[in-house]
Structure 1
Amino acid sequence: MTNIMLVDDHDLVRTGVKRLLEDHGEFTIVAEAKNGEEAIDQLRKTDPQVVLMDINMPGIGGLEATPKLLRQKADLKIIIISMHTDELYPQRLLKAGAMGYLTKGSRIDEIVHAIHEVLANRHYITPEIAQRLALSQVDDGGESPFESLSSRELQVLLLMMDGKKVVEISDELCLSPKTVSTYRHRLHDKVGVKSDIELARMALFYGLIENVPFKN
């Protein structure tokens, strides 16, 4: 049996994945967590071989949690399951040490296959994402301005692009509104824009989002 930890802030998602994996017969869910902090704590108490984790969660998200978990257990296999299909996110997660990247639309047989692959020390990236990554390697359009963002800046950006206000982001990430505002202005500076709408248009242009979440 393979020991699995599920990390996602949505109870229904964890429950659904848990049922599907346990019904498969070769996996045991030894721990569940709603964010990176809980995952780090659970890793100290349990002994999962594989972690299935979302990116965008309250507090510490998947981008920040991945290297922290691997520092605690170097042979841990981390598979990201996310709604984000832009190549920037899998690039960052793979560099951080994740072994796999799936989309939220992945079927159970693909999830099982990904688990088998990472346990064999092979990376697995869902074909749609793998194609985007391959195309990005031959694209001569220049580096995305979002490449320079830190994990926390990307997390704030994701929430902004969901249309969330500063106070909502501060509540979700357990940060002060002043700190969130600092990240917001830092995003403007790093990407080279002067407003949230320009930031959203840049995110749209580089494929991080599919539509601008707000208007002028």
Structure 2
Amino acid sequence: MITVLVVDDHELVRTGICRMLEDDADIQVIGQAESGEEAIAFARTQHPNVVLLDVNMPGIGGVETTRRLIQSVPDVKVLAVSGLAEEPYPSLLLKAGAKGYITKGAPLAEMVRAIKKVMQGGKYFSADIAEQLASSYLSDHQQTPFDALSDREMQVAIMVVNCVSAQEIADKLFVSVKTVNTYRYRIFEKLGVDSDVKLTHLALRYGLIKPQ
């Protein structure tokens, strides 16, 4: 039996995924979480085999959640499930330790196949995700301006464009507000912007976030 934790900030999405997975005899959903922080706390005590993780969530977000999940429960398999199919998210999740990445539009059969594949020690990526990853790794030049950022700078940038305050970012990443602001200005300098608004516009342009 493969035990699964479903993580998404939208209750309808979580409920829908859980109900779909109920029909597979090899999979048991043992919990739901609406944030990365909640997922980490649950995983530390319940030790699910696989975490189905939304990428674009409030709070620490999918990338940092993936890192902390693997640090807390080394055997856990993180499978990203997101509507954000464009780079740089797939590469970021892969670098953070995710074992797979599928889109929310994937059919149930593909989700089940992905869960079983990562549980067996493999990796699974939807066809469009795999194509983008291949293009990104085969290319010798930067795909987007955001490729110039370090992993931590990217984490901060994602939080900023999702309207997380400097104090909240500091609390979630266990650093000072001064350090967060240093990251912000370094991000601005690398990307050639001078405000959170311009950073957000750039993030929208390159698919880092979706328009609401």
TM-score, normalized by the shorter chain, greater than 0.5: yes
- Residues 60-89 of structure 1: per-residue CA shift (max 9 Å, x gap): 221111111111221111000111112211
1:152 pairs with 2:155: yes
Q: 1:116 to 1:30 in 2, by over 3 A?
A: same
Q: Distance in 2 between matches of 1:127 and 1:157?
A: 30
User: What amino acid sits opposite 2:83 in the alignment?
Assistant: M
The answer for unaligned runs of 5 or more in structure 1 is none
- Residues 105-125 of structure 1: per-residue CA shift (max 9 Å, x gap): 111111001011101111111
Q: 1:208 to 1:58 in 2, by over 3 A?
A: closer
Q: Alignment RMSD, CA only?
A: 2.8
Aligned equivalent of 2:87: 87
The answer for unaligned runs of 5 or more in structure 2 is 172-176
1:57 pairs with 2:57: yes
Aligned equivalent of 1:104: 104
Q: Distance in 1 between matches of 2:200 and 2:158?
A: 14
Q: Distance in 2 between matches of 1:94 and 1:202?
A: 23
Equivalent pair of 2:50/2:78 in contact (CA under 8 Å): yes
Q: 1:123 to 1:60 in 2, by over 3 A?
A: same
- Residues 16-68 of structure 1: per-residue CA shift (max 9 Å, x gap): 00000012232111121111111111112212100001122232221111111
User: What amino acid sits opposite 1:170 in the alignment?
Assistant: S
Q: Distance in 1 between matches of 2:12 and 2:78?
A: 21
Aligned equivalent of 2:5: 5
Q: Distance in 2 between matches of 1:43 and 1:209?
A: 27
Q: Distance in 2 between matches of 1:142 and 1:157?
A: 22
SS in 2 for 1:23: coil
- What is the correspondence of 1:38-53 to structure 2 with a 5 Å cutoff? 38-53=38-53
Instruction: Give the % identical residues.
Output: 41
SS in 1 for 2:51: strand
Q: Distance in 1 between matches of 2:201 and 2:43?
A: 39
Of 165, 178, 200, the residue aligned with 1:170 is 165
Aligned equivalent of 1:120: 120
Q: 1:24 to 1:120 in 2, by over 3 A?
A: same
What TM-score does the superposition give when structure 1 sets the normalisation length? 0.80
